[in-house]
Structure 1
Amino acid sequence: MTFFERVENVLLRFLQRFIYPYLLLADYRAIQKEQGIDIDSDILDVMGKASLWISYSDLSLEYPHPTMPNYVRSGGMALKEPLPLEQDLEDFVQGSGNHGIIIFTLGSTVGCLADHRKTEIIAKVFSRLPQRIIWRHTGELPTNLGSNIKILKWIPQSDLLGHAKTRLYIGHGGLNGAYEALYNAVPMILMPVLAPDQTDTAARVVSKGMGVRLDPATITAKSFYEAIKEVLQNDTYRKKVALNSAILRDMPPAKDRVVFWIEHVMKFGDEHLRAHVFELNLIQYYLVDVAAFLVLCIMGFILAMLFVCGLCCRMCKKNNNSKAE
């Protein structure tokens, strides 16, 4: 990271530690009080005492970082092998020829972009492409739909991403959709529209060279078309996503890992897995007492040396004066 990115990182870490619990964990705090779960402790302290952490992440999409022994990666646990498409959808896909298809969806929560003008721009660009488009859309239909576009209120996303003719996935940056595209080695264009985790997912995809990110608020026909052209024509994206797909598939099945560690903790407890760092207070955690002690020792040594040097200088001066007399 650059210097200012590191500054931002420190400030966000501070906000997460001291402000985030009171803003975003209020519902969990209510459950904690209602169920009488260690009500005198801070919610983050309660979470820190968890025997096991199961994270929907995987090294194929995650940044490398150190973790505790009780942290289990389960990225891709919801993935499954693609099933055959219904006949009408299969016919549409097969009609794309060698150009293949592009899948566009903004997830199950967002059926369409809030700005209909952006939807018109997207439809205009899609109509120019030689590929066929399968577009999940539930809002007002654009007026300039091309014959190569098929709009559906629901799509079998996993099955489409696993189809041999799928060339590109355009999504909102949802983690599950990104994993499905990654698992099937499909390059991505991500347009985060809601939660910060979508932006985070897009950043990971971009950093690993598996796709590009667009801002739906500032998208133009030119930027959208050039992004599609870049990902489809630059073979680097397909190679990168194929590499990370192979990494994901090479890992032991996520479900097996999760089941193993749950059973392991049930058998042997968590004492050998859980770090006690969460039980330290802020002074101990940030080594404030150790730093203060070392600073005092250094200052004491310096003052002692200054005192000794001053004493030696006074004795030498006194001896010189005695000789002069």
Structure 2
Amino acid sequence: MACSDPVRRVLLESRKPSTRLTYEAKWKRFSLWCAQQHISPHLASVPSILDYVLHLKDNHLALGSLKVHLAAISAFHPGSEGHSIFAHPVVRRFLKGLEKVHPSIKPPVPAWDLNLVLSRLTGPPFEPLASCSLLYLSWKVAFLVAITSARRVSELKALLCDPPYTIFHKDKVQLRPHPSFLPKVVSPFHMSQDIFLPVFFPKPHANSKEQRLHSLDVRRALAFYIERTRPFRKTSQLFVAIAERSKGAPVSSQRISSWITACIRACYDLARAPMPAVTAHSTRAQASSAAFLANVPLQEICRAATWASVHTFTTHYAINRHSRNDAAFGRAILQAVFP
């Protein structure tokens, strides 16, 4: 479908900025290949485009990357036989064939013990929050928010520290991302999904056990984190850098992920417990999960949590390792089950 330049610009704005940049880079790469083949990229036939996809596959691109390239071509190409390139029946059949010829092998995420991590977060060096190092405070807060909210790391990066984006209620904390943030699924429903995290064993405490469990309260941890980072903040983004060269600046999604995995590793070190290793069908050598976790998406790391007994924290924040329903996260459970 031929569109005017103004209409085309509006259509391009329907995508996230990062997606637009990705598509433009992929289209440029396709255009260079077309030039070598003496083909106009806008007039390239479906067979020619599939030849390009095979060229990419020969360069060891994964199936997911190939689909991104096709989506990018589809965004700029007028289509063929009434179909966009990505939706063309021949292209769909070709992708199914690639999946069978080159099946993707996804190694398992190493399981880690949630109870072990939680037990270490209740004591030094993660407590007391008023005096522990900013590094351990950052690790703990990032971990608690991630494990209780089940949000993507890009969503955690988009959180802001000031009202009305972070609101401390008496019985919970309410978190909202930056208004310009676009979630993976862009819809009114997904864009208005606030995070509600209830308090955990609030004061007064009946005994030392309740006091210890209160140290896992996400609301409390966030309050300390915001207060302690306020003097050097250079941004309203919730999570900020603590290294001297960039202190107070917003951190990247990758940095938040590294904090969370570092938190898990530190807890294992404190417990003098070996990090779990990964074995796949006895055909792969055991791999250190400390190195393995570095390349695993945040959500998968959270999903890999296991526990031999149910922890009160796990029940209170509705963390279920078999079925992780985002809408259920942060809801208090009526009955607390102690480990």
Q: Normalising by structure 1, what TM-score?
A: 0.30
Q: Normalising by structure 2, what TM-score?
A: 0.29
